[in-house]
Amino acid sequence: MKLYEPVMLAMPLARKLGELITVSKRLPNGDEVRQVLKGFGLEERCLDRGLALHRERFIITITFPGTEHLIVDVISSNGELSDALEVIAYHDRKLEAYVVEILPANELGFEGNIGLEPVIIDDKTFELKSAPVLGHFEEHEEGIFLIIDGETYSRWKARETCPICGGKLAWKGEEAYCVDCGYGIKVVKA
């Protein structure tokens, strides 16, 4: 699937970072993030002192790894910052948890975390303490859909709110359409 917009990479990336934290019991390092980005079809264009630049036809990422945090900026290749997103992973000592957030670079359009809630993982048990609505995108005849699994759907409390833009959802069976951003959401129960 082509990644047309930053959100189409940011949501599956945040989910994958959460999975890596749960398995490795630490923040992912720069090499691990580089492999994840390559797995999403991005080509590595530059690597210098920990900083990594990846590119796909419509998306550019800049990765800033650190010992206490990890930041991946996801930008449209046309340079527009209005839809740019930042995927941030860090260890929050006060919460005693690892946190992965997706924040818009332009805070005027949407106040809050993409995915409705950040990924919050307990730093002792490494169990999920939040209910993020993350998944991957697929292109169908009817449009582009965020695909979420049954487990995510069962945790999702605000089913009338779009996890992508915070707008209103119109449901029809296992599918919903956002009246604001136009993306569809499909629930796949395995």
DSSP conformation class of 50? T
CB 157 within 8 A of CB 115: no
Cα dihedral 168, 172, 173, 174 in deg (nearest 10): -50
Confidence bin at 187 (pLDDT 50/70/90): very high
Q: Which residue, 56, 130, 123, 131, is CA-closest to 94?
A: 123
Query: Does residue 158 or residue 59 have the better pLDDT?
Result: 59
pLDDT score at 124: 97
Mean pLDDT score, 13-39:
95
Measure the CA–CA gap between 116 and 169, rounded to whole angstroms: 13
Mean pLDDT score, 160-187:
92
100-147 pLDDT, tens per residue?
999 987 765 555 678 889 999 999 999 999 999 999 999 999 899 999
Query: How many percent of the chain have pLDDT more than 90?
Result: 72
pLDDT score at 190: 67
Average pLDDT, the chain: 91
pLDDT score at 34: 93
59-80 pLDDT, tens per residue?
999 999 988 899 999 999 887 7
